[in-house]
């Protein structure tokens, strides 16, 4: 009888940690990567298990998505470093030579990650072949971008840590506590003029990803803005007499998409379209020229035949708006930091449009979350209008009242069971080094499996 009653009144909620315990776990001076903070917004309990208790899944002898991310990043870094140093001259390099070089780099980097694993089975050997194909296509796309634009790849895997002494990543929290960030920016291109330095930040992703103001508003998409802000501050230190101007912040999809077109010409046009950078583009005239000579072949900015903008250019922002976004993201990170030190560890996975962090979480057997049972509920995000949220971020003062009305549309929470519901497709927005399992749309090196990615801050 006792067991039946226990079952009836069973509560599986984590509640709130005692603040003294939270301080012991995280210290009074926290250093996090941005992806960690994003993962907190996905599920606070997952963050607690992973970064508070530091529980790790057992290593297995298999090709992990983290391996793939590391290899592809390294190939891209190594290739474009050689371009910068002049060891590779793109103008003289034939397509065949470039492909051979990239293939060799991929094999070399794979061996550095694990000497034997890619030769340990036919399946893993095939994965390496697919990786080579992805690397070749990605490098080809990035080379084409360079031809169109007029900026120079200058920084690769640029690290920032508390030692960088950057005010943007040093955040004061309550009671004298501090939170700082560390991470690495995949690639930064610059163009110096007499009085300014134009900067472009690129983050490599394995899936399709674009700026999502709703995710940003919820604290789940912070990285790219942080990278842009960090690079602007670093460059300002390096060029104190020049104005630092962002040409934009971008995601580049590292992939070899299977294009369903019979004719080679159409296939190539589709590939070019798909390989364009996504993200936010500075509407400044010179920035647009630097990006791709206003051809629309590198960014997603659309132009009419007469050279004027198409009205559908959601990606265009001004320098001031980029600055406002940067400030918003910093405030969001401080909010997250305060929740962490308050010991908020609620099991609050979001039931997104397509996704939930539970689908890719290593801790399902520990938390035993089951929506509808023991007090477990998915968090249902308010159905926010993307344009209104964009206005909330870009014009926080003007839009305060509207913000209240946006929140007023919140749907009542409802419980949905993890079991018995169709497993939704993973988000196609994963970092090449990302924090979640991912399923690539075009060619996947893991076949159709979800693959676990470890936390990293390319990240």
Where along the sequence are the contacts to ligand SF4 (CB under 6 A)? Answer: 43, 45-46, 347, 349, 357-358, 361, 363-364, 367, 369
| In the complex, least distance from residue 14 CB atom to ligand SF4, rounded to whole angstroms | 9
Give CB contacts under 8 A, 24+ apart, made by 349-353.
349/42, 349/43, 349/46, 349/378, 349/379, 350/42, 350/43, 350/218, 350/378, 350/379, 350/380, 350/381, 351/378, 351/379, 351/380, 351/381, 351/416, 352/381, 352/427
Closer of 217 and 360 to ligand SF4 (Cβ): 360
| In the complex, least distance from residue 369 CB atom to ligand SF4, rounded to whole angstroms | 4
**C-alpha to C-alpha distance for 65 and 69, rounded to whole angstroms:** 6
Q: Is 175 left (phi over 0), alpha (psi -120 to 50) or beta?
A: left
| In the complex, least distance from residue 59 CB atom to ligand SF4, rounded to whole angstroms | 20
Closer of 142 and 358 to ligand SF4 (Cβ): 358
Cβ neighbours of 327 (radius 10 Å): 14
Residue 231's contacts (CB-CB under 8 Å, 6 or more residues apart) are 155, 158, 185, 188, 199, 201
Helix (H), strand (E) counts: the chain = 15, 9
| In the complex, least distance from residue 45 CB atom to ligand SF4, rounded to whole angstroms | 5
Closer of 42 and 149 to ligand SF4 (Cβ): 42
| In the complex, least distance from residue 349 CB atom to ligand SF4, rounded to whole angstroms | 4
Closer of 43 and 216 to ligand SF4 (Cβ): 43
Contact 146, 202 (CB under 8 A): no
- Residue 188 class from Cβ within 10 Å (0-12 exposed, 13-18 middle, 19+ buried)? buried
Closer of 10 and 295 to ligand SF4 (Cβ): 10
Closer of 217 and 369 to ligand SF4 (Cβ): 369
| In the complex, least distance from residue 368 CB atom to ligand SF4, rounded to whole angstroms | 8
Closer of 191 and 437 to ligand SF4 (Cβ): 437
**C-alpha to C-alpha distance for 373 and 173, rounded to whole angstroms:** 35
| In the complex, least distance from residue 378 CB atom to ligand SF4, rounded to whole angstroms | 9
| In the complex, least distance from residue 62 CB atom to ligand SF4, rounded to whole angstroms | 21
**C-alpha to C-alpha distance for 423 and 417, rounded to whole angstroms:** 11
Closer of 38 and 233 to ligand SF4 (Cβ): 38
Sign of CA dihedral 78, 82, 83, 89: negative
């Amino acid at each position: 009888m006792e067991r039946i009653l226990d079952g009836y009144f069973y509560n599986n909620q984590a509640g709130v940690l005692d603040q003294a315990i939270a301080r012991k776990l995280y210290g009074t001076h926290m250093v996090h990567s941005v992806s960690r903070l994003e993962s907190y917004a996905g599920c606070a309990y997952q963050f607690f298990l992973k970064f508070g208790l530091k529980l790790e899944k057992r290593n297995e002898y298999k090709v992990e998505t983290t391996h793939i991310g590391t290899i592809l990043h390294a190939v891209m870094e190594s290739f474009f470093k050689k371009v910068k140093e002049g060891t590779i001259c793109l103008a003289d390099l034939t397509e065949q030579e470039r492909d051979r070089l990239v293939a060799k780099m991929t094999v070399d980097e794979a061996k550095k990650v694990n000497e034997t694993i890619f030769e340990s089975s036919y399946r893993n050997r095939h994965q390496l072949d697919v990786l080579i194909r992805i690397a070749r296509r990605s490098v080809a796309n990035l080379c084409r971008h360079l031809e169109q634009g007029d900026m120079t790849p200058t920084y690769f895997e640029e690290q920032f840590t508390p030692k960088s002494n950057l005010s943007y990543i040093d955040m004061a929290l309550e009671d004298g506590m501090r939170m700082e960030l560390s991470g690495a920016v995949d690639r930064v291109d610059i163009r110096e003029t007499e009085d300014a330095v134009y900067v472009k930040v690129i983050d490599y992703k394995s899936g399709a990803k674009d700026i999502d103001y709703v995710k940003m508003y919820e604290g789940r998409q912070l990285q790219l803005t942080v990278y842009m802000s960090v690079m602007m501050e670093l460059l300002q230190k390096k060029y104190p007499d020049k104005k630092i101007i962002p040409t934009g912040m971008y995601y580049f999809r590292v992939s070899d998409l299977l294009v369903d077109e019979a004719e080679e010409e159409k296939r190539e046009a589709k590939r070019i379209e798909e390989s364009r950078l996504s993200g936010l583009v500075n509407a400044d005239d010179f920035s647009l020229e630097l990006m791709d000579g206003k051809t629309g072949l590198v960014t997603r900015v659309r132009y009419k035949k007469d050279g004027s903008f198409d009205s559908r250019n959601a990606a265009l922002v001004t320098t001031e708006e980029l600055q406002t976004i940067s400030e918003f993201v910093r405030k969001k990170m401080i909010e997250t930091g305060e929740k962490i030190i308050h010991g908020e560890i609620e099991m609050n996975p979001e039931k997104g449009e397509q996704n939930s962090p539970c689908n890719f979480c290593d801790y399902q057997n520990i938390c035993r979350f089951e929506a509808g049972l023991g007090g477990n509920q998915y968090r249902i995000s308010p159905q926010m209008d993307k344009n209104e949220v964009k206005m909330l971020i870009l014009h926080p003062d003007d839009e305060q009242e509207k913000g209240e009305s946006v929140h007023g549309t919140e749907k009542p929470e409802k419980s949905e069971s993890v079991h018995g519901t169709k497993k939704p497709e993973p988000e196609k927005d994963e970092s090449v080094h990302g924090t979640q399992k991912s399923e690539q749309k075009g060619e996947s090196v893991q076949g159709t499996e979800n693959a676990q990615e470890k936390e990293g801050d390319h990240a």
